[in-house]
Amino acid sequence: MNTSGVQPLTITVSDDSTVSALLLRPAQARSAYVFAHGAGAGMTHPSMVAIAEGLAERGIATLRYQFPYMEKGSKRPDPPAVAQATVRAAVAEAARHCGELPLFAGGKSFGGRMTSQAQAKAPLAGVRGLLFLGFPLHPAGKPSSERARHLAEVKVPMLFLQGTRDALAELDLLEPVVKGLGHRATLHLVQEADHSFHVLKRSGRNDHEVMAEVLDAFAGWVAEHA
């Protein structure tokens, strides 16, 4: 899958704010994912591209989009209210282009957390479930589960795709959080992977093999909930 089928879009967040987006929809799409980027890199980062293309190969359309701060070239993430409004606008845009497909939302790290916060505040229209590619439970070196408190207000199914070496989600904190969410939440652990799903050579696997596991788990979960 190459990027020749990517459709550039512009999303209106508010009267004075628009952001860029990229829609990648395979011919035989069976579902769609509203895909937010992490705090440090935007929607065109190679990892975002690779995930979008890998999902397209598995029949999942993606709408990638920028948060306003990234659109402006700033390194400082938007306040939660602005980020959540952007998530909501992106979901609405995805519905306009893929409205007949089962719709899911989430993202990498910060983008996934902003999506879950938006969903906790008020359900995202038409979204059947949330998928997190490395949920940032806490800052590196500052273990806490406070960032997960809002997840109790999320009433749709959730999938947490997490590396066992993720410095932003220590397992002894993450596992009880997911368990406490009951049947709504599923945790898929990627052995020896870090927050970006990179693995050490000693793991016996390479990053390509790990990403294939992540994307297969993602697609399998979506198929169950579509």
Question: What CATH number did the domain enclosing 196 receive?
Answer: 3.40.50.1820
pLDDT of residue 168: 97
Reported as a pLDDT band with limits 50, 70 and 90, residue 4 is low
Residue 110 C-alpha from the chain's centroid: 9
State yes or no: pLDDT of 160 exceeds 50. yes
Q: Is the pTM of this model over 0.75?
A: yes
> What is the overall mean pLDDT for the chain?
96
| Mean of pLDDT values over 209-215 | 97
Instruction: Give the mean model confidence (pLDDT) for residues 213-222.
Output: 98
Task: Examine the pLDDT at 2 and tell me if it is beyond 60.
Answer: no
Bridge-based pairing of strands 31-36 and 60-65 is parallel
Judged against a pLDDT cut of 50, whether residue 3 lies above it is answered with: no
Domains in the chain, number: 1
The pLDDT, as a whole number, for residue 201 is 86
Full residue range of the structural domain in which residue 71 is found: 3-225
Q: What is the mean pLDDT of residues 130-141?
A: 97
Phi-psi region of 123 (alpha: psi -120 to 50; beta: other; left: phi over 0): beta
Give me the pLDDT at residue 44, please: 97
Neighbour order of strands in the sheet with 6-14: 6-14, 17-24, 60-65, 31-36, 103-108, 127-133, 158-163, 185-190
pLDDT band at residue 203, thresholds of 50, 70 and 90? confident
